[in-house]
Structure 1
């Protein structure tokens, strides 16, 4: 035990600058998002009521209990930069572990840099934007990778896999595909080397059994949560007869969403990374060329599909709802880059692979800062328009005019509309100022204290029969039957 501890200490010390780079990348990007102080989706309500509701609303008991520990109370308050910093630490450890496991226990500069895409891929940015539960969403990534430190120790690997899969489900179920991708990646590595086939199949079987046992225990746990039944397709698994059609539909929507939300340069570089991975695997394999190509192509297809995890069998295509349901593919690409950029004897392929992977990593990390600054502009736009509307409402609101209707909410910042041209995913990542959903209303009331409730204008409303009480460059306000009708321009 002392010998192992000495080895770990030496490994950490010898690679301290490389590890520091990973920590720096995560902390600089996540602090940039945290400094915006945007009340992201559920955050707006949690800032006011302090409710955790991770367990009963989402069956995430791991997040619930962890939040009590981090907060020091069962009542949440905004901890400022504490949660982004904690999230960055968890993701840094996860990335380092992924490189150590996938790169034959070597911690090299380029694989470590590329590994940061595990937590900074565009689809996971929604998860790290939550001010209250981002550390626990990050934990789901950690639990998906951690057991593979003991890939060659059957007993420990089985026990830790069973526990980690169950813990992953209790922190965030969208990470359910990452464990499968790790199994397939290590399986490919061992299959194309001189590893004993029986030994490999035994490891894969242990992984499969522990995964299904962990999932089964989580499904059993969910039966004691009656609130989940009211959430519709977000928690409903398709029936047996509908399963094949549902899986095909979900695969189509999963990859369709990723393609439509990606910048063009991301698509081009991802394709190059897959091609280079196939070429490098072909040169490094100890199997025949045809067999290697078949196995590698099969791996790429299966890993890409299974990166979606258990969401494949859900009746609703959740990837089309929010980016945070589709980040498994981004993690898969990061895993491919870790394997691709590991050292080998083919220098020409090695340099090209590292150059393309680092370029892709640069584009994705730079996008994080683009996202952070666009989020800030959107927040400023929402604040300013809230103050303007609240100021005008105070002059026309009364006990008689107490019901408020709007055709839509506020305008988007022009900076967001410009950034969406290069980065279509921003349409899904940045909350829309124009949406009349309850989160925007909470933010309006929090910023201004007007305490109003707003509903959409009924289709049958006739402007000609109402009295125009206020008009400016932003909106027209009409009064009719003790109600106010606001038409945004």
Structure 2
């Protein structure tokens, strides 16, 4: 007996011993590597101290705007090491020595970004126009190395602490009874719901650019993990990407299926078909359909949702919960920030169930809540101040004033969208009924007093409705497109699934099952209708773009396209199928259909349908269509049933005409 016990313990001891040595080795290697990199950076700084370097400034593009010229120039450095490099070194320009025929006073609006310089001048310039003297600093590299060093040590420490527990909990989840069966059923449901969208082969907003090698790789919005994840999906090929759909969207379906199963497992501690049906709003909410419409983004947005659910597998071990929450939040924020509210909502639900059903003492429950709040705040601060690049465009990463935050921040805006978007959907009515059933279930199944249970359930619903957007509530310019409402779908899914947390009376159970099934089925119907509507709109849009390309070909020669600008005015309207979809489902339907060629001349993607016809006209925001270059009176050069085309200098203004069909 002793011998048997000894044999079973020895391998575990050896394994743990090796594991500890491995992490000690990882720490040692990381520290040595960091020291070497710091020494290298110090050497670079010493070599460049008080030294001046030279570079040549060469014009690479020019646009005439009225009587002036806008230039885009590039610095060609004589040293490939001691130069400006993103996140590594900065450059301080000491002086610019222009060529003899260039008046320094004629150079205005000079701005620099890395090795590029933009400026204006009334003179016509080309080629090499100046030599520049500059100094270089490697301060950004010190900062990056320090952050990487600290981050690496923290990651090694956290992994060493949670690895065994993480492996056990994940294995328990995967080993759950019926895991594979429920997974397959979930994937099939999602595929049925999204079949119309996938079949339609829709290019959704940014997809237009990325499919033809334009756009960006998400770095501009500090979505660093998104970039690397997509590179992996794209067979380790970096930007520019090719269109590999429907593979990314199929991966999104798999991730969402696992997400629903994870929610069901954490809340109900089991996997079954009822749990999958109840969690469908997680991935099929009308808002998340926009996320799924993106060919390139969909798996990344789904991952940002999924990773925030993982920490709650460890809710009973606060130490591990904090560590994994911190990592998961940073991963999610670096993939797609709009998901952050999911963490808040899930925390609130678990606090509620712990209280109502006395799963934990009040002290333990408060510790759990405090741990979640601490993890969220620390992760947000680390991301904001050490990882994210601040943006201030159509959205802003800057917080609004404290006074406005106290007044409710963006809460009124988000709530007004929720009501106006969903009021015409059957899903809205079913969810209202389910909210009432949720209150009843919490009140009658609770181990607390009925009054406290009733109040607690209402407080949860109110907080969930207010906090689903997370940190977006306090941004000065938040994202308000449907894709930013990820947290709302998660909130509804958690309300649905919580109806089956405890055993209910027979009548209440039947009502719960019926209305959850109706609510989720209405989402499948809406998703199918949306998929067909947006597919019809794209076909109609491409057809109209084809008509326009043909008309323009009679006015502009092939060779002149790159010197000719197009400004889109008016609207093509909606295809009959899309118009009917919007008529039936109202604001939600309209907000999901991109506004390409729908009356906004400043919409950056208006030109994309023309590009897909094989043309290469300049956009509305380029110099050829600038007000200074379109001073000539607009002249009507073509008019037909689809568009009127006006010309001013080298810019054509296209007044698109809508479809004459209107849904009844």
Which of 357, 369, 372 is equivalent to 1:207?
372
* SS of residue matched to 2:403: coil
Where in structure 2 are the equivalents of 1:259-338 lying within 5 Å?
259-262=419-422, 263-319=424-480, 322-338=481-497
Deviation of the 1:366 alpha carbon: 1.2
Q: Which residue of 2 aligns with 1:161?
A: 325
State how far apart, in whole Å, the 2-side matches of 1:3 and 1:257 are: 42
Q: Which residue of 2 aligns with 1:469?
A: 637
Q: Which residue of 2 aligns with 1:147?
A: 311
24-33 or 380-389: bigger deviation: 24-33
Change (3 A) 1:406 1:133: closer
Equivalenced residue count is: 476
Change (3 A) 1:299 1:478: closer
Change (3 A) 1:479 1:5: closer
Change (3 A) 1:85 1:385: same
Q: Which residue of 2 aligns with 1:420?
A: 582
Q: Is the contact between residue 326 and residue 375 of structure 2 (CA under 8 Å) also seen in structure 1? A: yes
State how far apart, in whole Å, the 2-side matches of 1:485 and 1:219 are: 43
Q: Is the contact between residue 409 and residue 474 of structure 2 (CA under 8 Å) also seen in structure 1? A: no
Change (3 A) 1:452 1:203: same
State how far apart, in whole Å, the 2-side matches of 1:39 and 1:357 are: 32
Deviation of the 1:411 alpha carbon: 3.0
Deviation of the 1:28 alpha carbon: 3.2
Q: Which residue of 2 aligns with 1:19?
A: 183
Higher fraction of strand: 2
| TM superposition score normalised by structure 2 | 0.67
Q: Is the contact between residue 122 and residue 327 of structure 1 (CA under 8 Å) also seen in structure 2? A: no
Point out where structure 2 has 5 or more consecutive residues left out of the alignment.
1-163, 658-664
Q: Which residue of 2 aligns with 1:446?
A: 612
Q: Is the contact between residue 311 and residue 325 of structure 2 (CA under 8 Å) also seen in structure 1? A: yes
State how far apart, in whole Å, the 2-side matches of 1:360 and 1:389 are: 43
1:429 aligns with 2:588: no
State how far apart, in whole Å, the 1-side matches of 2:323 and 2:651 are: 62
Which of 231, 247, 252 is equivalent to 1:87?
252
Deviation of the 1:371 alpha carbon: 0.9
Tell me which of the two structures has the higher relative contact order, counting C-alpha pairs closer than 8 angstroms and 6 or more residues apart.
Answer: 1
* SS of residue matched to 1:476: strand
Change (3 A) 1:446 1:220: same
State how far apart, in whole Å, the 2-side matches of 1:7 and 1:144 are: 19
State how far apart, in whole Å, the 2-side matches of 1:340 and 1:201 are: 23
Deviation of the 1:370 alpha carbon: 0.8
1:199-236 Cα offsets, whole Å, 9 max, x none, are: 1111111111111111111112345x3xx334264322
* SS of residue matched to 1:287: coil
Change (3 A) 1:236 1:4: closer
Q: Which residue of 1 aligns with 2:531?
A: 372
Deviation of the 1:265 alpha carbon: 2.1
Q: Which residue of 1 aligns with 2:517?
A: 358
State how far apart, in whole Å, the 1-side matches of 2:395 and 2:542 are: 34
Q: Which residue of 2 aligns with 1:242?
A: 404
State how far apart, in whole Å, the 1-side matches of 2:309 and 2:565 are: 52
* SS of residue matched to 1:326: helix
Q: Which residue of 1 aligns with 2:141?
A: none
* SS of residue matched to 1:469: strand
State how far apart, in whole Å, the 2-side matches of 1:292 and 1:26 are: 35
Which of 338, 344, 363 is equivalent to 1:198?
363
1:65-109 Cα offsets, whole Å, 9 max, x none, are: 111211111122111211011111111111100000011x11132
| TM superposition score normalised by structure 1 | 0.90
Deviation of the 1:359 alpha carbon: 0.2
Q: Is the contact between residue 638 and residue 646 of structure 2 (CA under 8 Å) also seen in structure 1? A: yes
Change (3 A) 1:239 1:423: same
Which of 392, 415, 424 is equivalent to 1:255?
415
State how far apart, in whole Å, the 1-side matches of 2:334 and 2:579 are: 37
Which of 217, 221, 225 is equivalent to 1:58?
221
Deviation of the 1:264 alpha carbon: 4.1
Q: Is the contact between residue 278 and residue 496 of structure 2 (CA under 8 Å) also seen in structure 1? A: yes
Deviation of the 1:6 alpha carbon: 8.0
Q: Which residue of 1 aligns with 2:242?
A: 77
Q: Is the contact between residue 443 and residue 454 of structure 2 (CA under 8 Å) also seen in structure 1? A: yes
Change (3 A) 1:133 1:8: closer
Where in structure 2 are the equivalents of 1:335-350 lying within 5 Å?
335-342=494-501, 344-350=503-509
Structure 1 residue ranges (4+ consecutive) displaced by more than 6 angstroms after TM superposition: 1-6, 455-458
CA RMSD of aligned residues (A): 2.6
Q: Which residue of 1 aligns with 2:205?
A: 41
Deviation of the 1:239 alpha carbon: 2.3
Deviation of the 1:332 alpha carbon: 0.3
Q: Is the contact between residue 34 and residue 131 of structure 1 (CA under 8 Å) also seen in structure 2? A: no
1:384 aligns with 2:543: yes
Q: Which residue of 2 aligns with 1:407?
A: 569
* SS of residue matched to 2:398: coil
Q: Is the contact between residue 187 and residue 204 of structure 1 (CA under 8 Å) also seen in structure 2? A: yes
State how far apart, in whole Å, the 2-side matches of 1:98 and 1:282 are: 22
State how far apart, in whole Å, the 2-side matches of 1:462 and 1:411 are: 29
* SS of residue matched to 2:410: helix
Change (3 A) 1:159 1:484: closer
Deviation of the 1:9 alpha carbon: 5.8
Change (3 A) 1:395 1:354: same
Deviation of the 1:480 alpha carbon: 4.9
State how far apart, in whole Å, the 1-side matches of 2:567 and 2:314 are: 59
State how far apart, in whole Å, the 2-side matches of 1:59 and 1:7 are: 34
